[in-house]
Amino acid sequence: MPSSPELDENDLDTIPPPQPVFHAEQALLGALLLDPHRLGDVTGISADSFSTAAHAALFAAISTVPPPDPAEHANTTWLNKVLAKGREQNRGLTVSYLHDLIQVCPWSRHAPAYARMVEAEHARRRIRAGAEQLVQSAHDVSLPHPVQTVLDEADALAMVVDDIAARFPPRAGVLPRTAAPPPAIAPDHTEAVQEEQLLLATATAHPADMESVQWLFPDDFTLPLHAGLWQCLATLTRRREPADPVTVLWEAQQRGLLDDGSDPGEVLRLLAEPVGSVEHWGQRALQRSLLATADNTGRRIEAYVRDLANTPFQLVVGARRSLADISSIRTRWQRATGTVPPQRPRPAHTTRAGPPTTTAAHTARSVRATR
C-alpha cells in the first residue's frame, strides 16, 4: 500500500492565512470563556454564525452549559464542562485551545463588538450562498420548470437580504464598491438564434400578433441584429404601415442595421420562414432573457460579496438593486404567461431609531393642539 504523502515545510506556504473574522471569532470565544456572564451581551449570532466547526461547537457549548456564579469568573469546573459538551460535536477541541482563546482575547468587555464582526461575516456568507444557488439554478438544464425555480431562488435570496437589513439597516448613499463580475463562460446561442429567427419571421408574417407580445423587449434578444429587426417590426405596426420582409428590410436600412455588413438577402430569407405562433416564440425568448438576467444578477452579487471592503450595509443595497432587475422581468413574464402568484410578505421598512415616544408626550401634544 502506498504511504500517505507527508506535508513538506514548503507546503505550509500554500495554506492561506486565516481571514480577519477567524481572529474575531477567537476573541469572542476567549471573552466568553474568560467572562461567561458576557454571553447576555452577545446578540444576533448563533452557532451557525461561525466559520469553523470547532468554533461553532464551542459557542454552542458555552450557550448550553449553565454559567458559574455571576460573582465569579470562569473556573476550571465550568471550563471542563464546556469542553466536554463541545467535544460531543467536535472531537478536535482541546484544553490547550481553550486556554489559547483566552490568551488571544484583547478585552473581554469588547465581546459585543467581536460578535458584531462575526455576525457581519456570517451575513456575507449567507448572501454569497444565495447568489451561488441563484446562478446554479439559472444554468440547470435538468429543471422541469426553470423559470419558477429561478424565481423561487431569487425570492429566497431577497428574504435573506431583508433579514440581514433588519440587523444592518442600509444607509442612504452607501453603495457597494463597483466590481465587475468575472466573465461568464460564453453560452451556446445556436438554439436561441434559431428561435429568434423563427419569432421574427412569424411576426413578420402575422404583424397583428405583435399586439399580444408587448411584454417582449429588444433587450431580450441575444443578437443586436435581431433586436433591431424587432424594433423595426414594432415601429411598422405602431405606424400601421405594411409589414413584410421587404418593408422590414427597408426600415432596417434606415436605422443603420445593415452597416455592419449584414447581407440584405440573408435578412430577407430570415424573415420569410414563419413557423408556429408569435406568442410561443416570444415566451421562449423571454424565458431565456429571464434566466440570463438571473445569472447576471447572481454573479454581480457574488462580485460584491467577494470584495471584503463592502460592509453588510453596502451588500444589502447592492443586492437589492441587483434583484430589482429580476423583479422587472418577472412582471413581464407574469403578463406573458398569465400567472400572478401571491406576493410574498415583506418586512416593514427599517428606519433608524429615534427618540422614544411616550404616552405623556402624545397627551401633551394633544392638549396643546386643542388650546
Task: Give 309's DSSP letter.
Answer: T
- Give percent above pLDDT 90 in the chain: 74
Determine the pLDDT at residue 107: 95
Kindly list the distances between the CA atom of residue 235 and the CA atoms of 193, 230, 251, 254, 255, in Å, as whole numbers in the listed order.
Answer: 22, 9, 9, 12, 11
More confident residue, 44 or 183: 44
Determine the pLDDT at residue 353: 40
C-alpha cell recorded at residue 214: 408587448
Determine the pLDDT at residue 162: 95
Question: What type of residue sits at position 111?
Answer: A
12 confidence band (pLDDT: 50, 70, 90):
very low
Task: Give Dmax (Cα) for the chain.
Answer: 96
**Domains in the chain, ordered, with CATH?**
18-106 (1.10.860), 127-347 (1.10.860.10)
The three-state secondary structure class of 349 is coil
CA-based nearest residue to 127, from 301, 296, 292, 294? 301
pLDDT reading at 369 higher than 50: no
* Ranges 190-194, 242-246, 363-367: which has the least confidence: 363-367
CA-to-CA distance for 74 and 32, rounded, in angstroms? 9
CA-to-CA distance for 302 and 130, rounded, in angstroms? 9
Determine the pLDDT at residue 1: 41
More confident residue, 361 or 232: 232
User: Quick one: average pLDDT of 114-132?
Assistant: 97
User: Quick one: average pLDDT of 221-242?
Assistant: 95
CA-to-CA distance for 169 and 179, rounded, in angstroms? 22
pLDDT tens digits for range 296-313 = 999 999 999 999 999 999
